[in-house]
Amino acid sequence: MDPSALAYLGAGLGAGLVALGAGLGIGLLAGPAMEGSARQPEAAGDIRTSMIIAAALIEGVALFGLVICIILAIK
């Protein structure tokens, strides 16, 4: 097999795994946050802020993975 085919395969699989990980992370985060703000609507603002910060950090890691996938794919 052509080695570049493996690189494309790796990039595609990597992008999928990145999406899986980020989705799982943000899902685990958002569920309890929703529950929390439904239970205590007066704390909704605080919960939203800290949720977005944590989500952004998770997303940051995912984006690093994604960038590697893009580099693999366009090389």
Partner 1 sequence: MVSPRVVLASDEEGGFDALHHSANAYYLDFAPFGKMELPRIFVVQREDGSYGLELFRSTTSAIRTGHFTVELVKDTHEEAAEDLLGESIGQGESAPVHQEQVVHAEAEGDGHAADSGKLTLAELEGHLLAPNGGHIVLDLSISRHLFFAWIAMGIVLFLMTRLAGMYKRGIGRSTAPRGLFQNLFETIILFVRDEIARPNLGDKANKYLPYLLTAFFFILTSNLLGLVPFGATATSNLMVTVVLATFTFILTQLGGTKDYWMHIFWPPGIPTFVKPILMPVELLGIFTKPIALAIRLFANMTAGHLVILSLIGLIFSFASLFGSGAGFGVAPVSVAFALFVYMLELLVSLIQAYVFTMLSALFISMAIQEHHHDHDEAHHGDEHVSAHTEAISA
Residues that bind partner 1 (CB under 8 A): 2, 4, 42, 45-46, 49, 52-53, 56, 59-60, 63-64, 66-67, 74-75
| Cβ closest to partner 1, residue 38 vs residue 64 | 64
Shortest distance, position 45 Cβ to partner 1, whole Å: 5
Cα 53 to chain centroid, rounded: 13
| Cβ closest to partner 1, residue 31 vs residue 41 | 41
Question: Considering only CA atoms, which of 67, 63, 68, 71 is closest in space to residue 25?
Answer: 63
- Find the helix or strand (DSSP H, E) in which 23 lies: helix 3-39
